[in-house]
Structure 1
Amino acid sequence: MPLRAHLTELRNRFFLVVAGVLVGGVVGWFFYEPMFHALSQPLLDAADARGGFAVLNFETVAAAFDMQLKVSLFLGLLLSSPWWLYQFWAFVTPGLTHRERLYAIGFLAAAVPLFLAGAFLAWLVLPHAVALLTEFTPGGAANIIDAQSYLSFVMRLMLAFGLAFLLPVVMVALNFAGIGQAATWRKGWRWAVLLAFVFAAIMTPTPDAITMIAVALPICGLYFAALGICTVHDRRVDRRRDAAGLPRLDGSMGTPA
């Protein structure tokens, strides 16, 4: 496919993703209040645990409306995750056969639960992070926190974890598209493990190493699981190339079947 066609395809997929998120955001608008209370609850629980007081503050007249838009779009992003994940798959795999396009079902079946699982893990980590960060409040003082800053922090945390859990699915998608070979992922496994632990250390600002390890290990496990799938796929491709008398993925010539 020419570069111009790729750019046109990217633009069209982007507009479809935006449309899906906006539709999800309309639905999310009606669930704003319960979502707002759920996101702010860790802060209130942390204040109660130390016998203090915390409240979210909207500094300007339009801040509450602006926050409702952001939370609604955040919900829209979660609700429309099957849609925009499919658009990603359809963009990176335009040259696959009809039979191979059926893998989109497997892609979505793995990607959507992983994305939501990552966001849920962030939700589990959030109370510990909030409790630690508010622990430094002096006695007799109260936490009057800007609502936009706090809720944006929570939503970015959940999205970051969700996208991190999509790493193995992206690896497999690129592999099936012929862009990333298993050998490439295998050579970079040390960097992948290092980045997983760095990510966990940054996104879990708690003093204990157990929480960091508990976050990093699932990401590492998903990486190696994806590496195994890519390895099996590349071996199948090499067998087909051997049968056709074509060079293997690494450029070597195999034994014809």
Structure 2
Amino acid sequence: MAEEKRLGLIEHLDELRSRLIVALVAILVTTALAYIFSDTLIFILRLPAGDIKLRAFSPMDGFLIRFRVAVYGGVFLAAPVWIFEVLRFLSPGLLPRERKFIFPGVVAMLGLFALGNVFGYLMLQNMFSVLFTMFGSELEYFPSADQYISFVTYFLIATGLAFELPIILLLAIKIGFVSIDQVKRQRRVAYFALFVFAELITPVADPIIAPTVVMIPMLVLFELALFIARFIAPKPTTATLPAETNATS
């Protein structure tokens, strides 16, 4: 019996290793591809800030910044592969009715993250126009390429993850971690939490309008997730029906 368990564990680890290799190879290939077009990617990231010239303050910045942008792009481009490999590794532990949600779930995750990136990118121009006016006449902005690229990429990652809210909420309801009624009862708390999150990822002087603009699409996705959850939420068991019947008789 112990020998069978050991062999099962070895097979499990071998499968994990093979899937990790496939995922890493995919990321390496897409990272190399993104590095070839890293100048174009940096231009796209710089565009929302207007006519500014990014400055490097270290001899290694030219390579390191291009490499960092390439890694971000490579991980994003390879996302369908490594997410698929992760889910294929986990799928033996899922029920058949749960496996049918894998493909639409992956598509929804990638689509929402990309939508969040697009939304965040469109927000950047207005955000920078406000931030640049805060320097006044006594300060002059000399943008560091390293700091600027880090700021933009982290902001885009944050907005992309924010748009994953419906997937997280649907998963929590599906596994029974929370119920639809519980979420509805705490709707005001959820709205406030979304506003606080939007406040944190919009570093502008205006504490109301900009975070509200960021929060609106998240609210729409939140309500959409609640609507969809009605169709996938676990059905109440009938085990409690006899007790309820006796209580009322």
If the length of structure 1 is used for normalisation, what is the TM-score?
0.75
Q: Measure how far apart 1:14 and its partner are.
A: 6.8
Tell me the secondary structure at the aligned position of residue 54 of structure 2. strand
d(CA) in 2 for partners of 1:227 and 1:85? 25
Q: Measure how far apart 1:197 and its partner are.
A: 0.8
The residue that corresponds to 2:80 in the other structure is: 82
- Tell me the alpha carbon deviations over residues 78-127 of structure 1, each in whole angstroms, 9 at most, x when there is no partner: 21232344456557765333343121121122221110000111101111
Work out which of the two has the higher radius of gyration on C-alpha atoms and give 1 or 2: 2
Alignment of 1:44-63 (within 5 A): 45=50, 54-63=52-61
The residue that corresponds to 1:36 in the other structure is: 42
The residue that corresponds to 2:6 in the other structure is: none
- Tell me the alpha carbon deviations over residues 106-152 of structure 1, each in whole angstroms, 9 at most, x when there is no partner: 11222211100001111011111111111133448642221111100
Q: Measure how far apart 1:234 and its partner are.
A: 2.3
| Contact persistence 1:25–1:75 (CA under 8 A) | yes
1:126 and 2:132 matched: no
The residue that corresponds to 1:224 in the other structure is: 223
Q: Measure how far apart 1:173 and its partner are.
A: 3.2
Give the gaps of 5 or more residues in structure 1: 49-53
The residue that corresponds to 1:149 in the other structure is: 147
In percent, how many aligned pairs have the same letter? Answer: 24
Closer/same/farther in 2, CA of residues 151 and 208 from structure 1, 3 Å limit: same
Question: 1:32 is aligned with what amino acid?
Answer: S
d(CA) in 2 for partners of 1:93 and 1:254? 36
d(CA) in 1 for partners of 2:219 and 2:169? 13
d(CA) in 2 for partners of 1:40 and 1:214? 22
The residue that corresponds to 2:179 in the other structure is: 182
d(CA) in 1 for partners of 2:242 and 2:79? 41
The residue that corresponds to 1:104 in the other structure is: 102
Q: Which moved more, 1:75-84 or 1:88-97?
A: 88-97
Question: 2:96 is aligned with what amino acid?
Answer: H
Question: 1:182 is aligned with what amino acid?
Answer: S
Tell me the secondary structure at the aligned position of residue 143 of structure 1. coil
d(CA) in 2 for partners of 1:154 and 1:17? 26
Match of 2:193 among 175, 182, 195: 195
**Alignment length (residue pairs):** 232
If the length of structure 2 is used for normalisation, what is the TM-score?
0.77
Question: 2:46 is aligned with what amino acid?
Answer: S
Tell me the secondary structure at the aligned position of residue 142 of structure 2. strand
Give the gaps of 5 or more residues in structure 2: 1-8, 244-249
Question: 1:71 is aligned with what amino acid?
Answer: V
Closer/same/farther in 2, CA of residues 95 and 133 from structure 1, 3 Å limit: same
- Tell me the alpha carbon deviations over residues 33-85 of structure 1, each in whole angstroms, 9 at most, x when there is no partner: 11111111222x2xx5xxxxx42111111111111111001111221232344
| Contact persistence 2:48–2:121 (CA under 8 A) | no
d(CA) in 1 for partners of 2:177 and 2:212? 28
- Considering only aligned residues, what root-mean-square deviation do their CA atoms show, in Å? 3.3
Question: 2:221 is aligned with what amino acid?
Answer: L
Question: 1:41 is aligned with what amino acid?
Answer: L
Closer/same/farther in 2, CA of residues 180 and 8 from structure 1, 3 Å limit: farther
d(CA) in 1 for partners of 2:118 and 2:33? 20
Tell me the secondary structure at the aligned position of residue 145 of structure 1. coil
Q: Measure how far apart 1:171 and its partner are.
A: 2.5
| Contact persistence 1:26–1:72 (CA under 8 A) | yes
d(CA) in 2 for partners of 1:93 and 1:175? 20
Question: 2:103 is aligned with what amino acid?
Answer: I
Tell me the secondary structure at the aligned position of residue 143 of structure 2. strand
Tell me the secondary structure at the aligned position of residue 129 of structure 1. helix
